[in-house]
Chains A and B, each alone.
Chain A
Amino acid sequence: MNPALNPGMAPVATPFFFYLLAGMAIASGLAVITRRNAVHSALALIVTLLSVAGLYLMLYAPFVAGVQIIVYAGGIMVLFLFVIMLVNVEISSKERQFNRIWPIGLAAACALLALFMSAFTKGKALFPDRMVALPESSNTQQVANMLYGEAGKMGPYTFAFEIASLLLLVAILGAVIMTKKKI
């Protein structure tokens, strides 16, 4: 990180922290897809989400990091753990964990990774080295201005924000109706 971007204080976003957080995210992501017990997978996924939140902080996106911790680690993962407790963990942890065509799936995923890597090495020029300084202290205010609009005018994402609330309403109704025994 270029120290000239945030003068006056020592840069916290050092390469060491980047590699630490990235390593934690990938290691616990590996744990998510390999653990036999679904509860362990969920706990590993929480570690991944928190590491990614740390990466957001390094990218000067404190509001997204907060949303990640509150909504993902606090809300969605509690929902997941709740459902894991409802369905039978004991039986499914004793069964076969991978389906019959897993070598094909693994090969396809590795081919995808190779595709990504070749795109990143060949198309390096598409991703310039510059890192523009984003104002960190007013980040939440700017996000709010874009979401809700400022000075009485609609922001660029106000309509999408309303549609998102509609989507959440439909999701709530769907979840309630599908889990009811009799409608």
Chain B
Amino acid sequence: MADITTLHYLVVAAALFVLGVIGVLTRRNVVIVLMSIELILNAVNLNLVAFSRMWGNLHGQLFAIFIVVDAAAEAAAGLGILIAFFRNKETINVDEIDLLKW
């Protein structure tokens, strides 16, 4: 088998990214939508680390670590909103979350 190049990692990351986009656009359950966002962030991280390897410096890895921090903050805030919403409306389906629709 041929050597694994940066492009191989980019293709894997693109596949993960598209899976995450499909989850965000089609699922109704908000928890699974948030998990799909985690998939997207992971795809971006994989890209950054692969580029870090390609250029031989650590800036990509540092960015990946900061994106992990962002993902943690996003998950905490998003799940907090979700619990507050579930307490009021007894549903976690995205298409029923339309309080701001007029």
Contact = CB atoms under 8 A, between A and B. Distances in A.
Interface in A43-68: 45, 48-49, 52, 55-56, 58-61, 63-64, 67-68
Size category of the A interface is 35 or more
Contacts of A179: 80, 83-84
Contacts of B39: 29, 32-33, 45, 48
A113 interface: yes
A122 interface: no
A49 B43 CA distance: 10
Interface of A: 1-2, 13, 15-16, 18, 22, 25-26, 29-30, 32-33, 38, 41-42, 45, 48-49, 52, 55-56, 58-61, 63-64, 67-68, 71-72, 75-76, 79-80, 83-84, 86-88, 92, 95-100, 102, 104-106, 108-110, 112-113, 116-117, 120, 124, 127-134, 139, 142-143, 146-147, 157, 160, 164, 167-168, 170-172, 174-179, 181
Contact of B53 (A61, A83, A171): A61
Q: Which of B17, B65, B66, B95 has the most CB of A within 10 A?
A: B65
Contact of B22 (A109, A120, A178): A109
Contacts of B18: 109-110, 112-113, 116
- Chain B's interface size range is 35 or more
A71 B75 CA distance: 12
Given A15-B3, A179-B83, A132 B56 contact: yes
A13 B4 contact: yes
A47 to B, nearest CB: 12
- Closest 8 A-B residue pairs measured CB to CB? A132-B56, A105-B25, A171-B73, A33-B23, A175-B80, A178-B80, A102-B26, A116-B14
Contacts of A97: 27-29
Given A18-B8, A25-B12, A87-B86, 17 more contacts: A29-B20, A29-B39, A32-B19, A45-B39, A55-B12, A87-B83, A99-B95, A105-B22, A105-B25, A109-B21, A127-B54, A132-B54, A139-B58, A167-B69, A174-B80, A178-B77, A178-B83
A84 B10 contact: no
